[in-house]
Amino acid sequence: MPRSVAIFANPFKKRSKKEVSRLKVWLARHKISILPSRSISQAEVIFSLGGDGTVLSLAPQAAKLGIPILGINLGRLGFLTASDANDMGRILNLWMKNQLVTSERMMLEVEAPMLKRPLIALNDAVVRTGATSRVITVDASVENESLGCFVGDGIIVSTSTGSTAYSLSASGPVVHPGMDALLLTPICAHSFTQRPVVFPAYQELCLELHERRTSDDVQLTLDGQKTFMLKNGDKVYIRKAPFKLKLLCDPEMPYFKLLREKMSWGGK
């Protein structure tokens, strides 16, 4: 039986305060203590109340500590959450009975000149222009073998988990999150021959920025959470991280059922 948890909620969600109060009442009734954020390393589970963005913000720390995340969706899609707030009671009961499914998700390790140390991302690392009126040039290579020069709005490198995020909106493939893979998806490529590519997770990708003009508005963004500016000649190395994130999932919502419901697949 679990004894201690940590709770993180998105304060900008309208239902956040109400649902956190409801969760605290349930935990108190079951004699489960709530740890302060500074003691997160001692938690058995991290509760994330918000949307996918809330899970993404917690993912690097949770993965490094090996603590699973149980997400309660207060947002829209909620690909990374176990349930919506309306179904929280059922999910909590399943959790108490140890009946939730643990899904281990590969993460990215990203290295770049402006970073003091390699950083971790669950969904994606994106090199893109911050201006809508111009294109950028990025040389991509895998294991020191050139993939070619990509001209357009940028490049997304994502995990299988991130295949349903920004990569999908750029016409990237949907990849089952149980697969360890790297996806390279061009953003608004200026050539019909530039297509998404899927690589095995043991390979390392390198994106090198080539800009003749000032490139003060070219950005490296991790999971839509952290943004850094790139300059001409900068190289961004992206590889499989040395640890995975543990997500607690509803056994009644397998992945393809989740896709059908969230994306209205197969609807008439």
Cβ burial 75-114 (10 Å sphere, 16+ → b, else e): beebbbbbbebeebeebbebbeeeebeebebbbbbbebee
Confidence of residue 194 (pLDDT cuts 50, 70, 90): confident
CA distance 121 to 125: 7
Q: Residue 223 forms beta bridges with which residues? A: none
Instruction: Look up the pTM and report it.
Output: 0.93
Q: Residue 102 forms beta bridges with which residues? A: 248
Dump pLDDT digits (tens) for 32-55. 999 998 899 999 999 999 999 999
Task: Check if 52 is active-site.
Answer: yes
Task: Tell me the domains of the chain and their CATH numbers.
Answer: 4-106+244-263 (3.40.50.10330), 108-240 (2.60.200.30)
Contacts for 134 with CB less than 8 Å, ≥ 6 apart: 213
Which residue among the candidates 52, 124, 223, 250 is catalytic per the annotation? 52
**Secondary structure class of 252 (helix, strand, coil):** coil
Dump pLDDT digits (tens) for 64-81. 999 999 999 997 778 999
Q: Quick one: how many helices (H) and strands (E) in the chain? A: 5, 19
How many percent of the chain have pLDDT more than 90?
77
Dump pLDDT digits (tens) for 83-108. 999 999 999 999 999 999 999 999 99
